[in-house]
Each structure stands twice: as structure tokens, then as C-alpha cells.
Amino acid sequence: MKKIILVLLLTLSIFSFSYQYAFYDLGTAHKISLIENKPLIIYFSSPTCTYCKKFEEEVLTNKSFQNILRASYIFAKINPNTKTTIFMGEQFTNNDLFGAFGVRGTPTFVFWYKDKGITSIPGYMPLNDFKKALMYILRFIYENYQESFEIYSTKEDFYLGPSEIIIVSEEDFNFVADNDKNVEYVEKVNKAEDVDTYKTFLTNSTVTAEHLKNLGALRILVLEEK
């Protein structure tokens, strides 16, 4: 009975998390980020962390914050446990990942793009500051933005990165379809108002992909022709 209760509690804790598009396996999240050409946020947390709870309740629940994540990032939550994953060709437990990334306290947010780390944010950051930080990092990644965050944070800016149409293999197409909850398959766009531009779109049609891009979609994956 104790084992059943523990499993139930673990399941409830995952499904009560305030961001439904989060990943819990770093290897899967990293592969998705490569296919979709998006930076990866690795959120190191722990069940007893007061400021993790504060982040999840006061920042992560905000819809505009979630929209930035959905549009422009892949977000992975890592708790300390013995679950294993394959990341950058090596096997790690989640406990190992804390050490590998030099995490000394939670929350810690590591920003990773392709095969290297960009920066990290240790500790809690208020909503508006964190939104600015997300866009600042996108400017740095995609435009090599060089001004300091202190200067950038004083400016009015809304930036989610470039819109991209990416031709992908059938294997990658199916991997994204099976693992990313923020995707939608589209054969044809019927109404512009029905397009959620914060989603990643999957399509077989380059015509549909161009239509989605013109409507403001930021990431469209097109199945390559054989």
C-alpha cells in the first residue's frame, strides 16, 4: 500500500505542475530543442524549495510568460532523483545532472542552445524581470546582441526570435509529434483567427508552412519529401 501511495503522490505532483508543456527528461527536451532550433531552459528544482514554489506560483502561471516559453523555448524541469537520461551522448541520473551543471541551490535556470551553455540564472527572479531576461537571451542567441542586461532591461522591447520553416526527416517529424505537447498538425489553414502562433506547427505542405509563417507562426516543421 505504501508503494501505491507514493506512486500516486508522484503522479499528482507532476500533473499539478503549472506549465503543461514542460519536459521531465533532459535528453528528450534537448533533442526537441535541436529539431525545432530553440534554446533549452533547464529548470533545476527540488520538492522542498520555497523559491521554486514561488517561481511556479507567481511567474510560471502567468499566461504571457508561458506564451514566450511556448513560442521560443523548450523547458525542462529536473528534480533530484535517480531517473536516468541520455544527454550529449552520456548517461546521467537527475542527481548527476545537478553536479554536472554545477548547481549549488534551487531554483537554478540553465540556458542551453544546441551543444553549449549560454548562461544561468541562480535563484528567484520576479515575473517582469524574467520575461525581459528571456527576450534578452533570444536577442543574444539569434542577433548576437551585445549590450548589457542592465541597459536592455530599461528598453521597451518584445522579441520572440525569428520565424522559421524547418524541413525535417520523418524520424524527427514523428519524434516531435510524439513528445512535444505544444505542437499541432495542420494540412490547410482555414481561418487566420484559429492559428495559435505560439505553437509549433507540423505540416506536409510548404504552401501551408508559408501561410502559417505569414500569419505569425514562429516555428513550422515540414516533412521532407522522399
pLDDT tens across 124-151, in order?
999 999 999 999 999 999 999 999 999 9
Among 87, 66, 65, 75, residue whose Cα is nearest residue 36: 75
Helix (H, G, I), strand (E, B) or coil at 110: strand
Q: What are phi and psi of 131, to 5 degrees?
A: -60, -45
Helix (H, G, I), strand (E, B) or coil at 196: coil
User: Quick one: which H or E segment has residue 207?
Assistant: helix 206-214
Q: What angle do CA 209, 22, 173 make, to 5 degrees?
A: 35
**What does the pLDDT look like over 45-97, one tens digit per residue?**
999 999 999 999 999 999 999 999 999 999 999 999 999 999 999 999 999 99
Tally: H helices and E strands in the chain: 9, 10
Task: Report the pLDDT value the prediction gives residue 5, as an integer from 0 to 100.
Answer: 40
Question: Domain extents for the chain?
Answer: 2-152, 164-223
Domain spanning 2-152, CATH class: alpha beta
Helix (H, G, I), strand (E, B) or coil at 66: helix
Distance in angstroms (rounded) separating the CA atoms of residues 203 and 176 = 12
| Percentage of the chain lying above the pLDDT 90 cut | 88
- pTM for this entry: 0.91
Contact (CB, 8 A) for 120 and 111: yes
Residues 6+ apart with CB under 8 A from 134: 65, 68, 69, 72, 73
Task: Report the pLDDT value the prediction gives residue 12, as an integer from 0 to 100.
Answer: 38
